[in-house]
Amino acid sequence: MLQAARERNSGKDWSDPGRSFPVAALCHGVAGDWARQTCGLTQSMAVCMFSMFLLPQPVSSGASAMFYLAAAVSDFYVPASEMPEHKIQSSEGPLQITMKMVPKMLSPLVKEWAPEAFVISFKLETDPDILIDKSLKALEKYRHQVVIANILESRRTSVIVVTKDSQTKLSLSDEEVAQGVEIEEKIVNHLQAQHTTFIEKQNSDGKGTACARSESSEAN
């Protein structure tokens, strides 16, 4: 399955600085199948790790690459090696489960694998009072570009797009809900515009740096 994903992407031109590549808009179905095959990863863990194998090589297209990490990754899991082979019997008394911490993938993605890419993560909470603060802290900690902040009970109709400089609420009207419009449509349209702006800014900054270096060389 991973080889098939690589082959589907191996013929693409990743070098065009003006194109937007949502290279890790992850598919839960595909990643869920991969999770079962790997015998030990939950679907949410597999969705996150699947993105690291989506391209045939580390991202070299800079700002043109977009990672849309839409999975709500679990914080804890039970390793396959620690799962019982048979049904747990209630006659054995109360059950205690010790879970392991899920490895954090966002940090190595941003710092090592695709440091120039446009990266979006999600933050799901049940308490609206801490949602924005936790989203801003995530941006500060991982140094990526966008957090899609959402509350569990309203996640299908309303989100807040959080960057270090702005907070934009995207919501579905009652009419849109009735028509079957999904919040993801508004999220993707908004992110596409943000990504285009990001690419243009990175290209502009790169040209400015190149000009400065050229002028410095000529002066010397």
Check: CB of residue 123 under 8 Å from CB of residue 135: yes
For residue 27, the model assigns a pLDDT of: 37
Identify which of 197, 194, 165, 170 has the alpha carbon closest to the alpha carbon of residue 182. Answer: 170
Sketch the domain layout of the chain as residue ranges: 19-78+98-206
Check: CB of residue 138 under 8 Å from CB of residue 146: no
**Does the pLDDT at position 195 exceed 70?**
yes
For residue 136, the model assigns a pLDDT of: 98
Check: CB of residue 35 under 8 Å from CB of residue 43: yes
Q: Which two tokens stand for residue 133?
A: 């603060």
CA separation, residue 188 to residues 4, 195, 204, 210, 220 (Å): 25, 10, 24, 32, 48
Terminal Cα distance for the chain, rounded: 54
Dihedral sign (CA 149, 151, 154, 156): positive
**Does the pLDDT at position 57 exceed 60?**
no
In this structure, whether the domain defined by 19-78+98-206 belongs to CATH 3.30.420.340 is answered with no
For residue 69, the model assigns a pLDDT of: 83
Residue-wise pLDDT tens digits, 5-39: 444 444 544 444 444 444 444 333 334 443 444 43
- Dist CA 60 CA 187 (whole Å): 26
Check: CB of residue 144 under 8 Å from CB of residue 106: yes
The beta-strand segments (E) located in 103-157 are 118-125, 146-151
68 vs 207 pLDDT, higher one: 68
**SS3 state at 119:** strand
**Does the pLDDT at position 215 exceed 70?**
no
